[in-house]
């Protein structure tokens, strides 16, 4: 337990003190793409007229390999649309297609907090998944260097909390209404540490964390760990690796 806490602390410190140019805040979530953390959304939307393309790799329980590809579009100053396609390779190939939309109802700093509502639909070979959610985001003041012993250099901390309705159509049409939480920490250069947790009755709870590093103003890489939980019904932790590319305005 102490080793895990120590490793997590080291990861956060590295993310805070690293220097890079660019931004990582429009990185699309892996499934049912939306601006967010690893798999869970924040209240934010990608900028109007912009597009973000992303691809990740995950090897999960039983040797399955998952390649989630997705693209995110800013369709207005407060709304985005995402399209995703994931390949699962395990002897036979299975495919998951997804469509997602989100609207930012309130945003910081105009309001005291950000509020977003959205929907995501995932269509797989054996079942379909529907997520409907509302999420609140809030930027918090960072502790002073005298308290932490680390020169944070203008880093920012945002917390996120939401409620998600999930329906699985696999013949039984099971469903749940569960909360989720998360946070992201980023330095002025754009290097970020993101983490998330979602309660679920479909097996083990979902948990994920990753570091995002902007290699260039257009390209951001992501590395971390995730237990898929509700998303794919996987109950073990696996390494994830991916990148996103900012296409700018595709028009």
Q: Given pLDDT bands bounded at 50, 70 and 90, which one contains residue 33? A: very high
d(CA 184, CA 219) in angstroms, rounded, equals 19
In the chain, the percentage of residues whose pLDDT exceeds 70 is: 75
d(CA 5, CA 167) in angstroms, rounded, equals 34
Higher pLDDT, 41 or 140: 41
Closest Cα to residue 100, out of 32, 28, 164, 44?
32
**Can you give the pLDDT at residue 169?**
79
Interval 97-127: pLDDT, tens:
999 999 999 999 889 899 999 999 998 766 7
d(CA 242, CA 194) in angstroms, rounded, equals 14
pTM of structure: 0.82
Higher pLDDT, 46 or 15: 46
Interval 163-216: pLDDT, tens:
999 998 765 668 899 999 999 998 888 899 999 999 988 777 889 999 999 999
Closest Cα to residue 202, out of 231, 239, 163, 236?
231
- Mind listing the domains of the chain with CATH numbers? 2-248 (2.40.160.40)
Please say if the pLDDT value at position 15 is more than 50.
Answer: no
* Whether the Cβ atoms of residue 99 and residue 128 lie closer than 8 Å to each other: no
C-alpha of 132 from chain center:
16
**Can you give the pLDDT at residue 25?**
58
Interval 210-240: pLDDT, tens:
999 999 989 999 999 987 655 555 556 688 9
């Amino acid at each position: 337990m102490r080793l895990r806490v120590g490793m997590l602390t080291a990861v956060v410190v590295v993310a805070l003190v690293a220097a890079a140019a660019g931004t990582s805040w429009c990185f699309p979530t892996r499934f049912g793409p939306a601006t967010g953390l690893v798999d869970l959304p924040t209240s934010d939307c990608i900028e109007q007229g912009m597009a973000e393309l992303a691809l990740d790799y995950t090897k999960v329980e039983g040797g399955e390999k998952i390649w989630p590809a997705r693209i995110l579009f800013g369709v207005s100053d407060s709304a985005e649309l995402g399209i995703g396609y994931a390949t699962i390779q395990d002897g036979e190939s299975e495919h998951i297609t997804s469509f997602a939309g989100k609207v930012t109802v309130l945003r910081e700093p105009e309001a005291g907090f950000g509020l977003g509502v959205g929907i995501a639909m995932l269509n797989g070979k054996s079942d379909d998944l529907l997520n409907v959610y509302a999420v609140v985001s809030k930027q918090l003041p960072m502790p002073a260097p005298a308290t932490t012993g680390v020169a944070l250099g203008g880093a920012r901390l945002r917390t996120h909390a939401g409620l998600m309705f999930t329906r699985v159509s696999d013949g039984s049409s099971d469903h749940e209404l569960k909360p989720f939480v998360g946070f992201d920490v980023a330095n002025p250069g754009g290097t970020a540490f993101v983490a998330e947790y979602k309660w679920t009755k479909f097996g083990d709870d979902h948990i994920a964390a990753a570091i995002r590093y902007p290699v260039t103003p257009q390209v951001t890489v992501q590395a971390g760990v995730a237990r898929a939980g509700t998303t794919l019904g996987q109950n073990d932790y696996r390494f994830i690796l991916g990148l996103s590319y900012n296409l700018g305005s595709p028009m």
